[in-house]
Amino acid sequence: MIELAAPTLDRMPQFVDALRRGWSPDGARNAAAAEEALAAIEADAASFIARQTDPEAKGLPVTLPDGSKVARIPGRHFWIWDGEFCGALGFRWQHGTASLPAHVLGHVGYSVVPWKQRQGCATGALRAVLPHARALGLPYVELTTDPDNLASQKVITANGGVLIESFNKPAAYGNTPGLRFRIPL
C-alpha cells in the first residue's frame, strides 16, 4: 500500500540513504538537488523538514536547472512510503487559480528510487495526492514529462491524465520538448 507521508526526522535516515545512493528528488536538477538536500540536512535537519511544507510560499527562492532563481509558490513535499522510503512527490499550486507561472512545469512532480521503480509507487503516489488538489478547489492538475519517458506517461494516464499539448520547455529547462498532461478533478 502506497501512502504519502509527511517528511519527518524519524524517516529522514531512509531519505538520506537514497540521496547518498545517487537518487535525486528533482529529475530536472538531479545530482545538484541531491547535494543541496544533503548539505541542508547536515546543517539543520529540523529546518529542512520544516521547509517541506510551505503553503504560503514563505521559503527561499527556487533554483531552476540553469541556475537561475525564481520566487517560490505554495507547495508541499511528501515522501512516498510503502513501509519504507520509495521516493518523493512535490505538489505546487497558486491560491485561487489553477494556473501556474511559466517556470513551473506542473502541479505535481515525483521521483521514485531506482530499487522501487516499476512497482506502482508513482501511480499510487499520484493517486494519493489528487484529494489534496481537490481540497484546494483545483479543477485539474497538470503534469509534464519528456516525450521519451513512457513510464511517467503510463503513471499519468493510469490516473486519468489526458495529453493536452506538446511544447518546448522554457529556456531555464533547456528549451527541450515536453508533453503536458491534465488530470481533471
Q: Is 56 exposed, middle or buried (0-12, 13-18, 19+ CB in 10 A)?
A: exposed
Q: In the structure grid, which three cell numbers stand for residue 36, read together?
A: 543541496
Domain boundary assignment for the chain: 3-139
pLDDT for position 28: 78
pLDDT for position 32: 84
pLDDT for position 31: 86
Kindly give the parts of the chain with pLDDT less than 70: none
H-state helical runs in the chain: 12-20, 30-50, 121-135, 150-158
Distance of alpha carbon 80 from alpha carbon 132, whole angstroms: 15
Instruction: Look at residue 90 and give its three-state secondary structure.
Output: strand
pLDDT for position 29: 76
pLDDT for position 30: 82
pLDDT for position 26: 84
The pTM score is 0.94
Q: In the structure grid, which three cell numbers stand for residue 110, read together?
A: 515525483
pLDDT for position 27: 77
Options 3.40.50, 1.20.58, 2.60.40, 3.40.630; CATH for 3-139 is 3.40.630
